[in-house]
Structure 1
Amino acid sequence: MKMRLQKYLSMNGIASRRQCETEIAAGHVSVNGNVITEMGYQIDSDTDRVTYRGKNVLPSQQKSTILLHKPIGVVSTVKDQFGRTTVIDLVKVSERLYPVGRLDYLTSGLLLLTSDGDVALRLTHPRYQTKKVYHAWLQGVITEDAMHQFRSGVSIEEYVTAPAEINILKKKPNKCQVEIVLREGKNRQVRKMCDFLGYPVSQLKRVGVGSLTLGDLKPGEWRYLSVKEVNQLMNPDQS
């Protein structure tokens, strides 16, 4: 398969795409024995031999998983009937990817896209209780009693939410920022729980999923997960 050298390196766990570009520019990457410093250099992943700092870089991940920093105002679908920008529009790759779960239109943060059905199942099936971490600005300063309710489970829409973690990060007049950790994934759950308790969400961002965090990715930026990162998601007890 034809692809850019930095993409091949990133897909196979060397580093983020931007870091791979730095490594190429520094002369640390060779193709078929020739040092390559040209950005955008095309390789054939099926036939070319790529080395990084003297070691072969072999195709180790046939299926791809991407970590995207989803901006506000982008929908978490493959297509949108209203013509709005989708997460797939932001990640222009040859692989056919699908969002792992969703972040609503007004929520930003960490969203995974994958072509690997096993990864999608591992992260979304309720029995695995994958940890998801959010930072939310609430209208009003939440009380200890309300946080106790949050931690015990809240009754919304004919079901009781699983116990969740919540802690205050910042307090300001008439508002506060909290960190919320969920291990289930009901539709718009954070917003509904906070609404029920009387502290509507004014800004919501997902900052972590399982062992992953956004790192230094800016809204709209993305990177491939390394093989190690995928293995940690699939086998969190062994990481």
Structure 2
Amino acid sequence: MIVRLNRYLSMCGVTSRRKADKLIEEGRVKVNGEVVRDLGVKIDPEVDRVEVDGKEVKPPRKIYIILNKPCCYLTQLGKSQSGKKTIEELIKDVPERVFPVGRLDYNTEGLLLLTNDGELANRVLHPRYKLPKVYLALVKGKVSKNTLRKMKHGAELEDGFAKPDDVRIVRYEGDNTLLEIVFHEGRKHIVKRFLASFGHPVIKLKRIALGTLKLGKLPPGKWRELSQRELRQLFSAVGLKYSS
């Protein structure tokens, strides 16, 4: 893959592309031992050696993790202006800087994918690939068989028609119902708004799967790297070829 030098420096986490141009103009960047000042120069990361201020720079190792996000954490990095806890507190020991792929609401728990692979992240989020998102939703009231049939046919929401890929009753819990519901689209609060439209507001929501990824028995607040098998399946689901 041939890339512009400023983009490569950005990929390596050195600085932004604009600031990389300044480093190049100042003569602080070498390619294969030679100072480069041409902003348009391109390099092959597999062949060329790039140095900034005498130190070799390389892209970070691509990393893919899933986090079991607990309730009451914001899906954002860094500190929040509101003072609420953020997921950054849970991933401090991840060896590379990663970014969440999509988001889970503050009160929603479960599977959150994080990576520093921008191409994979973009494809996971792209509606073309229709990756199913599976949730367990504890809703208020007992969902009747008739209401369940209506749910399967979809409902008109304020931003358009919504129809789950699947929905089923897992069990009744006292006067409430635990549902498993699947959507491949990612409209804001779609699960909560959809279920509320049938008179069954969500009490608790947890995502247990995203595409081929499953949360399994990962404890709340913990993370793990994806296995080679999981990566091959995920890459295949979004039309990419995985190479370890």
TM-score (norm 1): 0.70
Measured against aligned partners, the alpha-carbon deviations of 1:157-196 in whole angstroms (never above 9, x if no partner) come to 2311144311001113321101011111111111100111
For residues 117 and 161 of structure 1, do their structure 2 counterparts lie closer, same or farther at Cα, with a shift above 3 Å needed?
same
CA distance in 2, matches of 1:177, 1:159: 25
Shift of residue 216 of structure 1?
A: 1.8
The 5-angstrom pairing of residues 66-81 of structure 1 reads 66-79=65-78, 80-81=80-81
SS, match of residue 216 in structure 2: coil
Q: Contact 2:139–2:176 (CA<8 Å) still a contact in 1?
A: yes
Measured against aligned partners, the alpha-carbon deviations of 1:13-54 in whole angstroms (never above 9, x if no partner) come to xxxxxxxxxxxxxxxxxxxxxxxxxxxxxxxxxxxxxxxxxx
SS, match of residue 235 in structure 1: helix
1:235 aligns with 2:213: no
1:154 aligns with 2:155: yes
CA distance in 1, matches of 2:155, 2:227: 37
Q: Could you tell me which residue of structure 2 aligns to residue 96 of structure 1?
A: 97
Q: Contact 2:151–2:163 (CA<8 Å) still a contact in 1?
A: no
1:110 aligns with 2:92: no
Amino acid at match of 2:152: R
Amino acid at match of 1:114: T
CA distance in 2, matches of 1:160, 1:107: 23
Q: Could you tell me which residue of structure 1 aligns to residue 82 of structure 2?
A: 82
Amino acid at match of 1:191: K
Q: Contact 1:122–1:234 (CA<8 Å) still a contact in 2?
A: no
CA distance in 1, matches of 2:217, 2:137: 19
CA distance in 2, matches of 1:188, 1:237: 24
Shift of residue 118 of structure 1?
A: 1.8
For residues 134 and 163 of structure 1, do their structure 2 counterparts lie closer, same or farther at Cα, with a shift above 3 Å needed?
closer
CA distance in 2, matches of 1:163, 1:137: 16
For residues 236 and 158 of structure 1, do their structure 2 counterparts lie closer, same or farther at Cα, with a shift above 3 Å needed?
closer
The 5-angstrom pairing of residues 187-202 of structure 1 reads 187-202=188-203
For residues 187 and 158 of structure 1, do their structure 2 counterparts lie closer, same or farther at Cα, with a shift above 3 Å needed?
closer
Q: Which segments of structure 1 move beyond 3 Å, counting only runs of 4 or more? A: none
Amino acid at match of 1:150: M
CA distance in 2, matches of 1:152, 1:122: 28
The structure whose RCO (Cα within 8 Å, separation 6+) is larger is 1
Specify the structure having the higher radius of gyration (Cα): 2
TM-score (norm 2): 0.68
Shift of residue 94 of structure 1?
A: 4.1
Amino acid at match of 2:81: Q
For residues 187 and 99 of structure 1, do their structure 2 counterparts lie closer, same or farther at Cα, with a shift above 3 Å needed?
same
The 5-angstrom pairing of residues 159-238 of structure 1 reads 159-236=160-237
CA distance in 2, matches of 1:73, 1:163: 26
SS, match of residue 179 in structure 1: strand
Give the length in aligned residue pairs.
179
1:125 aligns with 2:126: yes
Shift of residue 116 of structure 1?
A: 0.7
Structure 1, unaligned runs of 5 or more: 1-60
For residues 68 and 75 of structure 1, do their structure 2 counterparts lie closer, same or farther at Cα, with a shift above 3 Å needed?
same
Q: Contact 2:108–2:204 (CA<8 Å) still a contact in 1?
A: yes
CA distance in 1, matches of 2:238, 2:124: 14
Q: Contact 2:141–2:177 (CA<8 Å) still a contact in 1?
A: yes
CA distance in 1, matches of 2:98, 2:81: 18
Structure 2, unaligned runs of 5 or more: 1-59, 240-244
